[in-house]
Structure 1
């Protein structure tokens, strides 16, 4: 079969945040230099572009390993088989937009350093948000998860990379119904929470979503769904899906209104926003913001809220950020 006509691509991906290191197309020569194990997966695709097969979970995982090594200095990174291997550019976008939200409360100055304490709800086996947040802004992290295997994997990543040691603390959530309770301690003062909630309401829904995604990648019929980015139950689906998880998070956040400066979460489905806004209205969140994030054809949202009034926010900033 003759090769298809070479596609033209913009030099930058305009949808990504201006500070996102992944705005420029992947330089596979540099990535292989940083992670030689990526080399065997790099080939010319049907359009005669150098790339990897995003249909292949092993290739996707090795690309992530190379990106984390090249851009974030993480030389020792791995995840257990079949665990979620998150797309790095999208995760980086979340961190940069969250940084902008914090800056909006601090005279447009992004607070940096390990004194800024973040909570990653559902840190996963990959520990990606803490890696990016610490590299970009020096923030320290608490990573929570209901899965002991994810906690153990993330802890191995932290302990295997000197830059992360002492900067990321992993905490196992023993009650799957709780999001903050049992994780945030009495003495904790959390500047920012981040979360990539379970997207789907069931395994069947997750597989159907994967088929749609792979159809876009391969432009051909998929007989059997393969989770090319992996993912366990708690990572991909939960009862009620994203809408239920985030609304639960909103209601539970009231218990820690004074312990956290800014709560945030990713919201992938626009149709879920109405229920989430209704919940935020019911709990009387004092300030709610929504930021659009775009990666390729996919648009998602970062929803943020706080229970602190302007005076309380100012006191927090003066005490912790300045």
Structure 2
């Protein structure tokens, strides 16, 4: 059997943030040294490169466990059956780009430490953003979710890892119609909020998207969803999809205009940007930033907004961030 011609790969993955720990190709020797349970899933692909079968959910979970242990000191991490297994490099990019946004308001010095509070809307069962944000910048995280099982899983991850205890708090959003209400408490202040909103507008659309993903990974048509690539309903879809969810978030954020410096969200579909910008104009956001991101062939962006005036922004920085500096990398 003739082997396919070996591909030439760049030393670094294109598009990732300069501080992203995952810019280089995965070093499976190092990862297996750190996390031996990954070894049975490592194999040579058709180009004789070490890799895993990315269409195998168990292999992807093991890779994540290895990455989180090797780079983020997470000893215990797992997911309930059926929940999304997040791509760590892409999630790290959001954290680094949003850190630069904070730094842009502070003389290019990124504020760090536990006094910096971040609210992760839809923290999910994986708790991935708090893990990365706390390791990289020492920020304190509050994660919210509408699913009790997701909160339970994230809480277990925090409890089982000493590096996270006292640095991440989980809150259940009991009213699925609300996003910030009953999560942001009276007189509570957040330096930023982050969100990876549901992408699809219906269950059927979400299932079709999952099948396309698995089919692409297998290079053949798959008609049955694979567990763990499916994701729960609230992770993947909501009525109206990403655009309606983000518009709702923007409208509700106005009620908490003085409670948070920067609100932000991922926007996966560029076609949604026009409606998002219209909603931000209607909500009278004082400043809007769009931050492009790319990971391989995937293009997305962060949209961030604030209701604080320039004077209020300066006051926030002076009272909350004074004395905090960027950690070495």
TM-score of the aligned structures, taking structure 2 as reference length: 0.96
Report the number of matched residues: 322
Residues 258 and 308, structure 1, Cα contact 8 Å, conserved in 2: yes
Moved more, 201-210 or 282-291: 201-210
Counterpart mapping for 1:15-54 below 5 A: 15-54=15-54
Counterpart mapping for 1:81-92 below 5 A: 81-92=81-92
Q: Gaps (5+ residues) in structure 2?
A: 323-329
| Counterpart-to-counterpart distance in 2, 1:223 and 1:143 | 34
| Counterpart-to-counterpart distance in 2, 1:229 and 1:137 | 30
Instruction: Give the match for residue 284 of structure 1.
Output: 284
Residues 56 and 228, structure 1, Cα contact 8 Å, conserved in 2: no
Instruction: Give the match for residue 184 of structure 1.
Output: 184
Residues 55 and 214, structure 1, Cα contact 8 Å, conserved in 2: yes
SS at match of 2:266: strand
Instruction: Give the match for residue 236 of structure 2.
Output: 236
Residues 82 and 228, structure 2, Cα contact 8 Å, conserved in 1: no
Are 2:5 and 1:8 equivalent residues in the alignment? no
Are 2:241 and 1:260 equivalent residues in the alignment? no
SS at match of 1:144: strand
Instruction: Give the match for residue 245 of structure 2.
Output: 245
- In the TM superposition, what is the alpha-carbon distance from 1:208 to its structure 2 partner? 1.6
| Counterpart-to-counterpart distance in 2, 1:9 and 1:73 | 28
SS at match of 1:120: strand
Are 2:213 and 1:213 equivalent residues in the alignment? yes
SS at match of 1:16: coil
Residues 210 and 229, structure 2, Cα contact 8 Å, conserved in 1: no
Instruction: Quote the RMSD (CA, aligned, Å).
Output: 1.1
Q: Gaps (5+ residues) in structure 1?
A: none
Counterpart mapping for 1:109-188 below 5 A: 109-188=109-188
| Counterpart-to-counterpart distance in 1, 2:37 and 2:134 | 25
| Counterpart-to-counterpart distance in 1, 2:81 and 2:272 | 31
| Counterpart-to-counterpart distance in 2, 1:300 and 1:242 | 13
- In the TM superposition, what is the alpha-carbon distance from 1:223 to its structure 2 partner? 3.1
| Counterpart-to-counterpart distance in 1, 2:147 and 2:9 | 40
| Counterpart-to-counterpart distance in 2, 1:247 and 1:107 | 31
- In the TM superposition, what is the alpha-carbon distance from 1:212 to its structure 2 partner? 2.6
- In the TM superposition, what is the alpha-carbon distance from 1:227 to its structure 2 partner? 5.4
- In the TM superposition, what is the alpha-carbon distance from 1:219 to its structure 2 partner? 2.5
SS at match of 2:159: helix
| Counterpart-to-counterpart distance in 2, 1:306 and 1:109 | 19
Residues 289 and 305, structure 1, Cα contact 8 Å, conserved in 2: yes
Residues 60 and 229, structure 1, Cα contact 8 Å, conserved in 2: no
| Counterpart-to-counterpart distance in 1, 2:286 and 2:67 | 38
| Counterpart-to-counterpart distance in 2, 1:111 and 1:25 | 29
Residues 86 and 229, structure 1, Cα contact 8 Å, conserved in 2: no
Residues 95 and 132, structure 1, Cα contact 8 Å, conserved in 2: yes
